[in-house]
Amino acid sequence: MIKPTLIALLLVPSFFLQAQDFMSDSAAIKVSYGSSPDRKVEGTDIEIGGSQWELMTPLYYHDGGDWSFGAGLRYKSTDIDISDATFLQEDHLQSLELALFLSKDYSDSLKGIVLFVPGMSGDFETTGGDAMNYMAMAGVRWKKSETFQWIFGAFYSTGFDDDIFLPAVGFMWEPSDKADLVFAGPIIRYRYSLTESFDWIAGGQFSGNRWLTEADYNDGAGVVEKEFSMQAYRLYTTIQWNPTEKHGVFATLGAELGREVEIKNAAGTTLAERDLKSSPSFEVGYRFRF
């Protein structure tokens, strides 16, 4: 099993890519739907599958010339299908994140980025401090040439077993006007413009979440609090169509590999930690730019 600290280390560069995505989508609304079929938890007869709606919308954006500030909201609604209710008695999980970012252009080749994201994930029946997570990062994007950029920075999160503070590094390469490549450790994304309106995107990244849940597992004797998490490495390929400057739709096929599930009780004791069989996945979505 991949330990939480290692997962955090591998995820660090992806948050810088998410910061880039958030800033590029700071004046856009995006909605998507994804699904993956039921697959067995290894060593058991339990099967887990589900689907998810996601909405990302800007709340505020200000362009001050060489600096900019923005705020956005991301909401995810997950319908989860678990064949054995004694493993986890939940069928609907949610998460809500508020993203705040600040960027500053120090020169034509140097840009600073700060991102702070408080969030809450769970069944929303219990909304205490244990359901809250915080992520913050700060870094710089150094443009070495017209086609190559380095990204350096640091990352802090409370979303794992312990508070995590780690450095991060990555790069972005644009060999032509039609193509670009982003690489940061295990995170990779390649985009190629097939035509003026069609893009092909392929890549790999870690995915997952941690939810705080509360349910009655004791026939009315009282509710039990459980922390449920799922992690995977996702390989994907996407076709994106932009019929106009403001409108875009996309369809993604993926494979969820190295999947893991973990359940802890309110005291932090691990109740279950098992592999989940690999699964295909798909996602469709729409983006509107203001």
Q: How far apart (Å, rounded) are the C-alpha atoms in residues 234 and 237? A: 10
Q: How far apart (Å, rounded) are the C-alpha atoms in residues 174 and 76? A: 32
Under a CB-based contact definition with an 8 Å cutoff, are residues 55 and 41 in contact? no
Joined tokens for residue 119: 């969030």
Q: According to the model, what pLDDT value does residue 281 have? A: 95
Q: According to the model, what pLDDT value does residue 223 have? A: 81
Residue range of the domain that includes 173: 4-289
pTM of this prediction? 0.85
Q: Is 27 a residue whose pLDDT tops 90?
A: no
Could you report the per-residue pLDDT of 262-287, keeping only the tens digit for each?
Answer: 998 888 889 999 999 999 999 999 99
What is the maximal distance between C-alpha atoms in the chain? Answer: 65
If one counts the domains in the chain, the total is 1
Strands 164-176 and 92-105: unpaired
Question: Is the CA virtual torsion 241, 244, 245, 246 positive or negative?
Answer: negative
DSSP 8-state code for residue 130: G
Question: Is the CA virtual torsion 29, 112, 201, 241 positive or negative?
Answer: positive
* DSSP helix, strand, coil percent of the chain (3-state; round to 5): 10, 70, 25
Q: CATH number of the domain that 238 lies in?
A: 2.40.160
Residue range 252-264: average pLDDT? 94
Phi and psi of 24, rounded to 5°?
A: -70, -25
Q: According to the model, what pLDDT value does residue 25 have? A: 54
Q: How far apart (Å, rounded) are the C-alpha atoms in residues 87 and 47? A: 10
Under a CB-based contact definition with an 8 Å cutoff, are residues 193 and 39 in contact? no
The SS3 of residue 246 is coil
**Residue 241 vs residue 221, higher pLDDT:** 241
Q: According to the model, what pLDDT value does residue 86 have? A: 87
Q: Is 4 a residue whose pLDDT tops 50?
A: no
Could you report the per-residue pLDDT of 184-226, keeping only the tens digit for each?
Answer: 767 789 999 999 999 999 999 888 888 888 887 776 667 888 8
Residue written as token pair 């449920």: 228
Under a CB-based contact definition with an 8 Å cutoff, are residues 199 and 191 in contact? yes
270: exposed, middle or buried (Cβ count in 10 Å: 0-12, 13-18, 19+): exposed
Could you report the per-residue pLDDT of 56-112, keeping only the tens digit for each?
Answer: 998 888 888 899 888 889 999 999 999 998 898 889 999 999 989 898 999 999 999
